[in-house]
Amino acid sequence: MIEIEVSDSVFGFLGGYFHQDIDSPESALDEYLEEIPKEEQETDIAALKDFINSDYSDEEKNDFIDEAADGVDIRSYGVSPLVWLEQVIQKIEKNIETL
């Protein structure tokens, strides 16, 4: 099980933006990029990178992402949840560069 200290903000990010009530993960990310201030995006990226770089196994991380992003079938995109999250981070970083 992934510790709360590592996961709390990651779970909040994923559960808050990527859940069963969204139209699509892409639209949820677009909304996030438009509405969330740059400073908060930077904080989220730091937490997400800490999570990705943690010592937990890829399987544990994938399971955690699947659970946190409840209702989003990430694997239907042809990538693991961990790869998907890395792609989300890249899109946020690219957005920050343009702000």
**Confidence check: pLDDT of 11 > 90:** yes
Domain enclosing residue 22, as ranges: 4-98
Q: What is the pLDDT of residues 22-80, one digit of tens each?
A: 989 999 999 999 999 999 999 999 999 999 999 999 999 999 999 999 878 898 889 99
User: Given a cut of 70, is residue 4 above it in pLDDT?
Assistant: no
Q: How far apart are CA 58 and CA 81, in angstroms?
A: 9
The label of the residue with tokens 């946190």 reads 68
Q: Name the domain count of the chain.
A: 1
| Global model pTM greater than 0.85 | yes
Q: What is the pLDDT of residue 72?
A: 85
Per-residue pLDDT band for 91 (boundaries 50, 70, 90) equals very high
pLDDT at residue number 75: 87
